[in-house]
Amino acid sequence: MAQKRVIKQFVGPLTPEQASEGIAAAHDNALALLKDAQLLLEHRRWPRAAALSILSIEESGKASVFRALVLARDEAECREEWRAYRSHTRKNFKWILPELAAKGARHLEDLRQLVDDSSDHPYVLDALKQLAMYTDAYGDCRWSRPEAAINERLARTLVDTARIFVKDAPGAMTSAAELKLWVKHLRPVWKSDMGEMKSALIACYAEAQESGVLRGKDTPGDMVKFVL
């Protein structure tokens, strides 16, 4: 009997350099998926445009997982973050951020719903992706077809949402130099007192700016306003 060929997935710790490379790869793929979704939108292929925009959102969501991975202090935490990396619903949670912002969310405490385990929004987006790609039977055996499940308005909304998260270049805390500072400041207080974690985050941004390595438009002052 022929032996099955299996590609072994990596589950070990990451250095800042490795994490930065992973973030760059995910960003490039998120941007490519968004561009493909936009092309499909132009050709009125609503379900596929929606599906690729959701995949783009998921790829852009990997950056936060990588930042957690470099902070992993033992094998258990490392494996937990790799499970998050390979879980669709752990990478798409931010998709309702534009809706929260429209309702007035401006600070960290306003965004608790994003990471609330009781919130179903990650599963809603994952279900939409399934509806956009596959046929299936629901309820009393009612068949779903992608072209019936996803209309133009929904497709355009999802593409617009993906466009919010996927920029031309990666933002702050994505380079190896930034991530080294991230580990320096955040690892000692990771998953501990929220006040200490907020202070560490502000200190990390401040040192990154002082060192001249801070990417993007956000300043330490912006981070102070956001977390406090």
Backbone angles phi, psi at 192, to 5 degrees: -115, -140
User: If 0-12 CB within 10 Å is exposed, 13-18 middle and 19+ buried, where does residue 58 land?
Assistant: buried
Alpha-carbon distance 177 to 114, whole Å? 28
Query: How does residue 76 score in pLDDT terms, banded at 50, 70 and 90?
Result: very high
pLDDT tens, residue by residue, 15-55: 999 999 999 999 999 999 999 999 999 999 999 999 999 99
**Coil vs helix vs strand at 113:** helix
pLDDT value of residue 57: 96
E strand segments, the chain:
136-138, 142-144
Mark out the alpha helices in 2-74 (DSSP H runs).
Answer: 16-42, 46-60, 62-69
pLDDT tens, residue by residue, 158-170: 999 999 999 888 8
Task: Identify the DSSP state of 169.
Answer: S
Whether the CB-CB separation of 152 and 195 falls below 8 Å is answered with no
Q: Model pTM?
A: 0.91
Task: Identify the DSSP state of 140.
Answer: T
Nearest residue to 37 (alpha-carbon basis) of 167, 161, 127: 161
More confident residue, 38 or 226: 38
Query: How does residue 9 score in pLDDT terms, banded at 50, 70 and 90?
Result: very high
